[in-house]
Amino acid sequence: EVQLEESGGVVVQPGGSLRLSCAASGFTFHDYTMHWVRQVPGKGLEWVSLINWDGISTYYADSVKGRFTISRDNSKNSLYLQMSSLRTEDTALYYCAKDRTPQGYSYADYWGQGTLVTVSS
């Protein structure tokens, strides 16, 4: 059974930094592209970033480019999102999600339950 468990969400001040983690199990982690998606409570989903299966290629939404860094440790079956220069508009529930296609890019087929990041003074 595929399981994704996010952690690291806390309350942080504007301008601060934070690292989110996602522990994956139930599938061959190093074969799959992984995504971060966020959702302001009560609002729509926003795709944030993806990293390919071997960690070499990364892509970002314009809203976070230059401030967030996605990474992975395939030896630990873990995905990360380093967030810096945080803004109040980054407040959201952050989901970790697995891509459907081995060694490809398509869509997220499994999602975690999310970790809440609140940016507030």
User: Which residues of this protein are in contact with another protein, per CB under 8 A?
Assistant: 35, 37, 43-47, 50, 57, 59-62, 95, 100, 105-109, 111-114
Q: How far is the CB of 53 from another protein (least distance, A)?
A: 13
Q: How far is the CB of 88 from another protein (least distance, A)?
A: 20
- The CA distance from 84 to 74, in Å, is 23
- Pick between residue 37 and residue 117 the one whose CB is nearest to another protein: 37
Q: How far is the CB of 16 from another protein (least distance, A)?
A: 25
Q: Chain centroid to CA 101: how far?
A: 18
- Pick between residue 12 and residue 35 the one whose CB is nearest to another protein: 35
Q: How far is the CB of 24 from another protein (least distance, A)?
A: 15
- Pick between residue 16 and residue 67 the one whose CB is nearest to another protein: 67
- Pick between residue 6 and residue 12 the one whose CB is nearest to another protein: 6
